[in-house]
Amino acid sequence: MDSSTVCHQFLEDFACAHVNDGFMDGDGERMVGCFMNLQGSPLVEVKKLKDKGNCLFRQIFFDRAAACYDEACKLLGISFGMIGGEDVQSLSDLAVSLNSNLAACAIKLEEYRAAVELCTMILNKFPRNVKALFRRALACVKLKRFLEAEVDLVEALVVEPRNKDVLRELDVVKGHLLIKKNGKRV
């Protein structure tokens, strides 16, 4: 399977990134049924799924964590229009967090193109999101797209000038670019 097919398969399996666009995949009917049978706030269920995904991520079960984030995102997506009285900004922040976590899973699962796509979707709406900039840069490094990684890392430093992770990765990227400039194989 080529890398383009793998990327699209990952995004199809975990279509969370489309939540902000109101996207519902073939699981939509099942998710609506799940929504209707909830005993409490759908937002509480979304947060439980996110917490479960976080726990699974820490335990290095990245595919299972991605599935939790995906389900939470889909539930949040169908909940957007149904949750009354909730702050739209906090719902949007939750959707961005879920998408960002899904991008982290994609990186751990070596689905770098999918991670780039997920982060790009976040950055199209929130161009100063440091996590999305950083994670897209990490994926670009793995794809040997060092100039793109450098641009994202520099932008992340504009937002958070003292971010040690960003500074460290920028040094790595500059090293790769220097090697490339001097004609040595990267």
Given 72, 87, 111, which residue is the final one in a domain? 111
In a domain, residue 117? The reply is no
Same domain, 98 and 151: no
Instruction: Residue 142: give the domain boundaries.
Output: 127-186
Residue 82 clears pLDDT 80, i.e. is over it = no
Same domain, 81 and 136: no
Domain count, the chain: 2
Residue 39 clears pLDDT 80, i.e. is over it = no
For residues 119 and 153, the answer to whether their CB atoms sit within 8 Å is no
Same domain, 107 and 56: yes
Element (H, E) at 4: helix 3-13
Residue 156 clears pLDDT 50, i.e. is over it = yes
Q: Mean per-residue pLDDT for 28-32?
A: 50
Six token digits for residue 52: 């479960």
Indicate left, alpha or beta for 88 from its phi (over 0: left) and psi (-120 to 50: alpha).
Answer: alpha
Given 70, 86, 111, which residue is the final one in a domain? 111
In a domain, residue 118? The reply is no
Indicate left, alpha or beta for 14 from its phi (over 0: left) and psi (-120 to 50: alpha).
Answer: beta
Same domain, 88 and 7: yes
Same domain, 88 and 170: no
Least confident of 28-42, 83-97, 111-125, 138-152: 28-42
Per-residue pLDDT at 79: 72
Q: pLDDT-derived band of residue 81, with 50, 70 and 90 as boundaries?
A: low
